[in-house]
Structure 1
Amino acid sequence: MPIPEDVTGDEIDKDVRQELQSLPKTLAEDVAKNLVMVARLIDEDPEGAYGYSRIALRLASRVAAVREAAGFAAYANQKYGEALAEFRAARRMTGSVELWPVMADCERGLGRPEKALDMAGAPEVHKLDKAGQVEMRLVAAGARRDMGQLDAAIVTLQSPELASSSVQPWTARLRYAYADALLAAGRSGEAREWFAKAVESDRDGSTDASDRLAALDGVEFVDALDESEVEDQVHAQEPDQDQGQGQVEDAGAVVERRDED
């Protein structure tokens, strides 16, 4: 697969670059460039990212960072068995527990929520940093929902991190998951409150909390009509000037409120 000319390989994290020093220089550069492409594409083009990850894996399968990148690329493509195998390999190489939550989520993806819950109660969880522990809580709540245990999922998400007023990188996702679980349990009033709190903390737009909140408030987002459609609708009206202007304003609106009742 071609590598864009603007990719040098120097864009990778310094810790990964250090790992690649065990490889011959030219090989290390090739692997680095493919890892850069994985990171660049994984959100918008997961299939493309997966392709680059396979090249990196073929070139340097004994490098933990490569196995981890391959795992995330497979995970992004819902290849959960493959992702789990790569994450396990990376963990064996490094001895780190950092990947424990995503490994548990792979178990969910494979239809084994009970295994994910077992992992949520394992000693490894206590070795995770705060972000990892929150991620593990999200996975455990998801596993409870997989098993139809909505009330247990809600209780799982209730934590000091959820109650805290400070905004951390995980705050929006945690509040969103809690709101979604409340809504699934039919507690729409509480769900609305927590979707609103998720919106407040979602500084980078990592969730669609604002859309979910709007839906609960009865607001529907629709596409604006293009100019030709607006003009056609105007000409279709009676020649009254005020009526025509009103039609233009209505046709150009992008938000309309609907009566839920």
Structure 2
Amino acid sequence: MPIPEDVTGEEIDKDVRQELQSLPKTLADDVAKNLVMVARLIDEDPEAAYGYSRVALRLASRVAAVREAAGFAAYANQKYGEALAEFRAARRMTGTVDLWPVMADCERGLGRPEKALDMAGAPEVHKLDKAGQVEMRLVAAGARRDMGQLDAAIVTLQSPELASNSVQPWTARLRYAYADALLAAGRNDEAREWFAKAVEADRDGSTDASDRLAELDGVEFVDALDESEDISAEDISAQDASAQDADDQD
């Protein structure tokens, strides 16, 4: 797949670059460039990102960072079985538990919420950092909702992190998930309160909390361009005719 000229491979994280040092330099550079493309495209064009991840995987399948990138690219394309296999491979290579929450979410994607809940109660969770533990809580709540256990999902999200006034990278998503669960349970007033709190914490627009809040408040946004396109040719002709009559009368 083509690599833009402005991509040098130096853009990747230094830890990944260090992993690639086990490869011949030319090969390491090629792999690095493909990993840069995965990172660059995974949000806006996940299918293309997946293509670059497959190239990197073909070139360096024994590098943990490559297996992890391939996993996230597959995950972004809802290829959950493939993503889970790549994440497991990366975990075997590194011995870390960082990927545990996303592995559990892959189980959800494969229609196995019970397995995701088992993982949420596993000893590995205690080895996660705070961000990982919050992510695991979000996955567990999602699994509860998959199983139709709305009240349990709400309870799962209730935590010191949710109650805290401190804004962390995960705060907006946690508040949003809680608001969404409340809304699904018919607790609209509480849901509105928590969507508003999610908006306060969502500094980078990672959720659509503001839209959900507006929807609850009955606010409708009208696109002026779309509205103008609704005016038919007959309406325009009628307006022109009225203007011409006025001129004739003058």
The TM-score with structure 1 as length reference comes to 0.88
Q: 1:186 to 1:95 in 2, by over 3 A?
A: same
Point out the structure with the larger helix share: 2
1:120-131 correspondence to structure 2 within 5 Å: 120-131=120-131
Q: Name the % identity.
A: 92
Correspondence for 1:31: 31
Q: Number of aligned pairs?
A: 240
Using the alignment, how far apart are the partners of 2:81 and 2:230 within structure 1?
A: 51
Deviations 1:164-190 (A, max 9, x none): 001000000000000000000000000
CA distance in 2, matches of 1:198, 1:39: 26
The residue number in structure 1 matching 2:182 is 182
> Which residue of structure 2 lines up, in the alignment, with residue 55 of structure 1?
55
Q: What is the rounded CA distance, in whole Å, between the counterparts of 1:151 and 1:231 in structure 2?
A: 48
Which amino acid letter does the alignment assign opposite residue 78 of structure 1?
Q
Aligned partner of residue 221 in structure 1, secondary structure: coil
Gaps of 5+ in 2: 244-250
Distance 1:236 1:157 in 2: 59
Per the TM alignment, residue 221 of structure 1 is displaced from its structure 2 partner at its CA by 2.0
TM-score, normalisation: structure 2: 0.92
- Mapping 1:91-130, distance limit 5 Å: 91-130=91-130
1:124-143 superposed Cα distances (whole Å, 9 cap, x missing partner): 00000000000000000000
Distance in 1 between residues matched to 2:53 and 2:231, nearest whole Å = 50
- Return the offset for 1:98: 0.2
Quote how far apart the aligned CAs of 1:225 are: 2.4
The residue type equivalent to 1:49 in the other structure is A
For residues 141-152 of structure 1, what are the structure 2 equivalents within 5 Å?
A: 141-152=141-152
Deviation at 1:222, TM superposition (A): 2.9
| Cross-structure match for 1:248 | none
CA gap 1:213/1:236 in 2 versus in 1, 3 angstroms: farther
Task: Give the counterpart letter for 1:213 in structure 2.
Answer: L
Unmatched runs of 5 consecutive residues or more in structure 1: 241-261
Find runs of 4+ consecutive structure 1 residues off by over 3 angstroms: 226-240
2:82 maps to: 82
* Separation in structure 2 between the aligned mates of residue 195 and residue 226 of structure 1, nearest angstrom: 28
In angstroms, what is the RMSD of aligned CA positions? Answer: 1.8
